[in-house]
Amino acid sequence: MTVYTPRRAARVLLVDASDRVLLFEGSDPARPGHRYWFTPGGGLHPGESPADGAARELAEETGLRLAPAQLGAPVFSDTVEFPFDGVWYRQDQQFYLVRVTGWEVDTAGFDDVERASVHGHRWWPVAELAASAERYYPPDLPGRLGAVLAGGGAC
């Protein structure tokens, strides 16, 4: 029986003027060969709202500083279960859409875990991500992002 550590998180779909989404390439320290792409964001501090956490994580991981109110409402949420560094998590997470004309990513705010487990970043066109054999999370990201971009709002 797997025992899960509960975790709350907020993530950001950072999308540029060409409708490309920023993703980081990472790996699990306990499984270095398990590479995957993921959105900026992460765990919330105790008592932190999802919007506050998303804004904080966005600043730490990309250098883009926005007030939590600038994020608007989440465009979708889900619950995922996953292992990381030998711990199984059950994570409730909310996703926010942030549009930028362009952005030069600055990872100077990475913590030690991020410096050790994040190997790069890339702006992905949605269609290219959907056609890719690369692993990415959430696994339905191209469809969800496509729906958000087509509808201009939540999916």
Render pLDDT for 61-93 as a digit per residue (tens, 0 to 9): 999 999 999 999 999 999 999 999 999 999 999
Does the pLDDT of residue 25 top 60, yes or no?
yes
53/42 Cα distance (integer angstroms): 8
CA 153 to each of CA 9, 74, 92: distance values in angstroms, whole numbers, following the listed order: 20, 9, 20
The Cβ of residue 2 has, within 10 Å, a number of other Cβ atoms equal to 7
Secondary structure, 3-state, 48-96: CCHHHHHHHHHHHHHCCCCCHHHHCCCCEEEEEEEEECCEEEEEEEEEE
- The pLDDT, as a whole number, for residue 155 is 43
Answer yes or no: is pLDDT of 143 > 50: yes
**Mean pLDDT (the chain, rounded):** 94
* Domain locations in the chain as residue ranges: 5-152
Q: How confident is the model at residue 151 (pLDDT cuts 50, 70, 90)?
A: confident
pTM of the model: 0.94
pLDDT at residue 154 is higher than 60: no
Domain 5-152 - what CATH class? Answer: alpha beta
